[in-house]
Amino acid sequence: MLKLHKEVWMGKVIKTGVVATREKNGQTEVLLVSTKNNGWGVPKGNLMPELGKKKTALEEAYEEAGVLGEIDGGKKATIEHPDWILDLYPMKISKLLKKWPEMDWREREWVPLKKVNKRLGYSALVECVEELAG
């Protein structure tokens, strides 16, 4: 596991993550992970400067959701919060692992894109997921 960092820009913690999708039965599904506060979100974490934003996002996808793959294209969505900035990238999954680092305390679930708004509690995150997955 990599060392934790808190990279800061303009007083805000820099975070990065992925919106991982798949097509099933003709509809787009998004991979969500459980959060520490009993909600749902996308795999994300603090920027690890030695990896850069995209590789950090892929590392978080592996650690939190047990998925491997690559960033899909050049798209990006950004959420700016008073305390942090989050850059999200679309992810093309190549492998869904049966075991992963955070599996003992994190769940993962495929949710139809049209139902994501009911699972995510943060409207800006819903907008970014819909933009990158749509």
Q: For residue 9, what pLDDT is reported?
A: 61
In a domain, 3, yes or no: no
Query: Which has more confidence, 12 or 107?
Result: 107
Does residue 72 sit within a domain? yes
- pTM: predicted TM-score of the whole model, two decimal places: 0.89
In a domain? residue 74: yes
What residues pair up with 79 in beta bridges, in sequence order?
Answer: 86
Indicate the pLDDT class of residue 53, thresholds 50, 70 and 90.
very high
Domain span at residue 102 reads 8-133
For the residues 15-25, what does the mean pLDDT come to?
96
Q: For residue 5, what pLDDT is reported?
A: 54
Q: Read off the pLDDT band of 44 (50, 70, 90).
A: very high
Write down the pLDDT at residue 6.
65
Q: Is residue 69 part of a domain?
A: yes
Q: Which two tokens stand for residue 74?
A: 């050049």
Is 116 a domain residue? yes
pLDDT digits (tens, 9 = 90+) for 74-126: 899 999 999 999 999 999 999 999 999 999 999 999 999 999 999 998 899 99
Q: Is 110 helix (H, G, I), strand (E, B) or coil?
A: strand
CATH number at residue 31: 3.90.79.10
Q: In b/e form, how buried is each residue of 65-101, taking b as 16+ CB within 10 angstroms?
A: bbbebebbeeebbebeeeebbbbbbbbebeebeeebe
For residues 95 and 122, the answer to whether their CB atoms sit within 8 Å is no
Q: How far apart are CA 126 and CA 66, in angstroms?
A: 22
Residue 1 domain flag: no
Within a domain: 32 = yes
The total of structural domains in the chain comes to 1
In a domain, 2, yes or no: no
